[in-house]
Structure 1
Amino acid sequence: MRDALRRPGGVQRMNPAFSVIVFTTLSGAGLGLWCWLGLRIAFGGPPGLYEGIGWAIGLLLAAGLVAAGLASSFLHLGKPARAWRAFSQWRTSWLSREGVLAVACFLAMGAVFLAGRSGMPPLALRLAAALLALLALATVYSTAMIYASLRPIPAWSHRLVVPAYLGFALLQGALLLPTFTGSALASGGLWWACVALAAALLAVKWRYWRDLDRGLAMPSRGAALGLPQRQAAVFERPHTEANFVTREMAFVVARRHARLLRGVAVALFALLPLALLVIAGIHAASAPWAWPLAAAIVLLGAVVERWLFFAEARHVVTLYY
C-alpha cells in the first residue's frame, strides 16, 4: 500500500465499482427517456401518437434500462437479500428515496399504458404522463444527492454534481426520443435542446474538473479528529493488510491518465454527439441513424465520466493512510 502511495503523480482516491457505474449510467438513460416521453405525451403528443407502438416501445425500453441499472446495483451490496430494508429509510436517506421513487416510476408508467390503451379521457393520459416525467426527474435528482450529500468526499459534495447527473440523463433521453416518437420531431425544438444540453454538460464538467484540479477543500488530520488547532501526525499505520477501506477508498489514479480519460469522455458525451446532430440537421435523411448513434456514444461517454467521478474522488479517511 505504501509503495502505491509513493507512485509519482498518484494520490489516494475512491475505487470505482463497475456495478455502480453501470447502475448510474443505464438507469440515468432510462429515467431520462421516461422524462422526455412523459413530457411529449403530456404536452406535445398529436392524436396519432398513441395509435402506433413506438411510444409503448420507448416506455418499455426505458423500463428495461432502469431495471438493468437497478439490478446491477445489487451486485455492490454485501447482502442483497436485505436490500428491501432500504425502502424504510426514506425520511432520512437519499438512497431509500431513490428506491421509492424508482418504484413509483414503474407504477406511473403502468398508469400511462392503462390510460393510453383503455380509452380513458385524454386528460387522464396527460396527467399520468406528466407524473411519470416528474417522478423520473426526481429519481435522477435523488441518485445524484446520494453522492452530493456526502460531506467527507469534497469531490462528490461539489455543487455541480447534481447538474451533471441531470444533464446526462436528459441528454441521453432526448437523443433516444425521436426513435420512438417520429423523426419529424428531430428537426424541431428537440434538436436545439440536445445541442444546448451537450454544450451545457461540457461547461459543467469543465468547471467541475477545473475545481478538482485546483484542489477541493480537504480538512487537515487535526480537523478530521475534531481538533482543528492541532497538528496530528500518523506515527503507525492502522493495519498491515488490505481491507475494505484500502480497497474502496484508497484507489490510485495517475494524473496523466485522468487527463487522457477526461478528453475521451468529452469527445464521447459532447463533441461527437454535437457533430452527429449537425449532420442530422443539415441532412435530414441521416436523422434515423444519427440520433440513436449519438445516444449510444453519449452512453459510452457517461461510463467514462462516471468512472472518473469515482476514481478522482478522495475520502477524508485517506488522511489516516
Structure 2
Amino acid sequence: MHPAPSVIFFSVFSGLGFGLLVWLGLGIPAVTGGSAFAFFTIAYLLAVGGLISSTFHLGHPERAFKAFTQWRSSWLSREAVCAVIALVCMAIYGAGLVFLGERWGLIGFVGAAFSLGTVFTTSMIYAQLKTVPRWNMPLTPLNFLSLSVAGGALLAGQVTSALLLILIAGAIQAVTWLLGDKRLSESGTDMASATQLGNIGTVRAFEPPHTGTNYLLREFVHVIGRKHSQKLRVIALVLMSILPVVLLLLPFNHIIAVVAVLAHVAGVIVARWLFFAEAEHVVGLYYGKR
C-alpha cells in the first residue's frame, strides 16, 4: 500500500493523543488547574490534529461529515462517532479539572473508554480488509492499542507503567511483523485465484495489463526491498522501545523525558510507515507485483 504521509500522521498522532486521554480519564496523573490544562492541550492537539490530517487523503474532504452516517456497517463511521463522543466527554471532564478543580469520575471513565474505542475502530478499518492479508489478523488492533496506551503513559509521565507497556508494545510489533510476513502466502491467494484462470492450467504474467500506471498501482501496490525493510524494522524497534526504556531507567530529568518521548514517536512513525509500505494488497497479484 502507498504510505501516504497524511494517514501516517493521523494514525500515529491521534493514537498518542487518545492514549493520553485514556490516562487522563482514569485520573492519571491527578492534575488540576494549569497542569491539567497543559496535559489536555497536548492530548487535544495530538488527537484532533491527527483526525484533521486524515481528511487530506480524501478525494473530497468537504464530504467528511458523511462518515458519521454509516455507523452500522462502516468502521470508519464508528471511528468518527467514537472520536466525537470521546472528545466531548473529555472536554467536559477537563473543564471540571481546569476551572473547578473537580474530578467527575464517571465522565472521565466514559471518555477514556471511548478514547480507547476510537483507537480500536481506527485499527479495525485496516484489520477488516481481507484483501490485505498482513492486516487481516487480531494482532493489528493489539498493535494499535498497545502503542496508543504505551505512548499515552509516556506522555502522562507514568515512568513505571511506560517501561512495561513500551516493552509489551515492542514485542507485539515484532510478532506482528513475523506473522505478517507469512499472511499472504498462507491466505492461499495467488495469480491463479486473482485471475480465476487456475482451472485451465498454470497462470503466469505474460505482460502488464497496460503500459502506464493507474490508480490501483499508485495506491495499492508499493514494493519495498526486504533488505531495506529489515533495516527499518530494527530502527523502529530501537527508537520506539529500546532507547526509551534505557532512558527511562536513568535518573529522571525533563530533558531525558523529552528525548524518550521524541525517540518513541520517531520509532512509531517508522513502524507505521512500514505498516503501509509492507502491506501486500492482493490486486498486486493481477499485475504480477507479488
Change (3 A) 1:205 1:316: same
Change (3 A) 1:80 1:177: same
Structure 2 counterpart of 1:54:
35
Q: Secondary structure at the match of 2:156?
A: helix
Tell me the distance in 2 between the aligned counterparts of 1:215 and 1:250.
16
Structure 1 portions without partners, runs of 5+: 1-13, 179-189
Q: Which amino acid aligns with 2:194?
A: A
Q: Structure 1 runs of 4+ off > 6 angstroms?
A: none
Q: Which amino acid aligns with 2:48?
A: A
Change (3 A) 1:90 1:230: farther
Structure 1 counterpart of 2:167:
199
Q: Which amino acid aligns with 2:63?
A: R
Structure 1 counterpart of 2:254:
288
Deviations 1:105-125 (A, max 9, x none): 221122113433565975xx1
The higher-RCO structure (CA 8 Å, 6+ apart) is 1
In the TM superposition, residue 215 of structure 1 has moved relative to its aligned partner by 5.3
Is residue 79 from structure 1 mapped to residue 60 from structure 2 by the alignment?
yes
Q: Any residues of structure 2 matched to 1:137-156 within 5 Å, and which?
A: 137-156=116-135
Change (3 A) 1:87 1:296: same
Percent identical among aligned pairs is 38
Question: Which 10-residue stretch deviates more, 199-208 or 166-175?
Answer: 199-208
- Equivalences, count: 284
In the TM superposition, residue 305 of structure 1 has moved relative to its aligned partner by 0.2
Deviations 1:130-152 (A, max 9, x none): 11111110000001000000011
Q: Any residues of structure 2 matched to 1:124-203 within 5 Å, and which?
A: 125-178=104-157, 190-203=158-171
In the TM superposition, residue 316 of structure 1 has moved relative to its aligned partner by 0.6
- 1:223–1:229 contact (8 Å) kept in structure 2: no
Q: Of 177, 200, 216, which aligns to 1:209?
A: 177
- 1:222–1:230 contact (8 Å) kept in structure 2: no
Structure 2 counterpart of 1:107:
88
Structure 2 counterpart of 1:301:
267
The CA RMSD over aligned residues, in Å, is 2.1
Q: Of 237, 240, 264, which aligns to 1:269?
A: 240
Structure 2 counterpart of 1:249:
220
Change (3 A) 1:245 1:131: same
Tell me the distance in 2 between the aligned counterparts of 1:172 and 1:21.
16
In the TM superposition, residue 236 of structure 1 has moved relative to its aligned partner by 4.9
Larger gyration radius, structure 1 or structure 2: 1
Change (3 A) 1:134 1:248: same
In the TM superposition, residue 212 of structure 1 has moved relative to its aligned partner by 3.1
Q: Which amino acid aligns with 2:44?
A: A
